Amino acid sequence: MNNSQNDKCANRIALQFYEKLEQVKDNSLNIILEGENGVGKEYFARQIHEKRDWSHEFIIFDWECDHSWQQRILDDLSENHLSTLLDKDNMRRNTYFFRRIDLLNPQMQLEIIELLENEAFRKGLSRSQIHQLGLVATLEKNVETQEKEKILPIIHLQEFFPLTIRIPALRKRKNEIIYLMYAMLDNVNNQLNRAVEGFSPETYDFFLAYNWPNNIDELRSEIEREVALTRDNHLINTSVLSERLIKLQPLVNVDNFTGR
């Protein structure tokens, strides 16, 4: 497959993803967002939360921790959130965000299922209603690696999530790169109290040519580095790009893009 075909395939994958994302704003289906590390799963979870106008708070249950902390989180869910989570009459429901359910051991997943099912039975909820609590979960999945190493995580909790949306890797969303560069620059400027103005046009080719194997996390790290090396009220230029970008032969014509 040549570069042009690759680009068309990537654009189609990205388009399908955004079409699915747009559809979920009008329903309360529980959703799993899966993808490689750093593709922006929590960012898109928050986008879903904002699009669903009935959502109130965005409450995070982060399972990326050791077993003892997972047990504390489970206890918190049971004692402080379970009743509200399954309150079908609450018109201002929260979005409950379950980060990295693939890191929950199978036994703890079964405990969560039992909690949900028992509370649902007590409240008289049907299976269909359990599937429409507005839950959003993330699952880290690198299809190529898992197929090669035959890694098949056991995800019992998937039975509560009727919809799974796979977030494409950043290399399949190249049309977003310029936008993300400026969005992240704004964020880094605000966090570090800096005033770097933007990017010189010749930098675009390098950002677009690179495949970003570590996705958005790597892009942000690159921009943080460049801000540190650029004076306020100046543009980031090619002299401060990291070696991994500079060594690439630019593949995309900058005339097809604008900064802002």
pLDDT tens digit sequence for 64-96: 999 999 999 999 999 999 888 887 666 567 889
d(CA 160, CA 77): 16
Residue 34 dihedral angles phi and psi, to the nearest 5°: -120, 155
pLDDT at 155: 79
CA-wise closest residue to 35 among 145, 191, 118 = 145
Q: What is the pLDDT of residue 125?
A: 87
- Which pLDDT tens digit goes with each residue over 4-27? 544 555 556 556 677 777 777 778
pLDDT at 230: 97
| Residue range(s) in the chain whose domain bears CATH number 1.10.8.60 | 172-256
Does the structural domain 172-256 have CATH classification 1.10.8.60? yes
**What pLDDT does residue 51 have?**
82
Q: Where are the alpha helices (DSSP H) in 52-92?
A: 67-76, 82-85
Q: Which residues of the chain have pLDDT under 50?
A: 1-3, 5-6, 145-150, 252, 254-260
Homologous superfamily, domain 3-168: P-loop containing nucleotide triphosphate hydrolases (3.40.50.300)
* Residue 38 confidence (pLDDT): 87
Q: How high is the pLDDT of residue 15?
A: 66
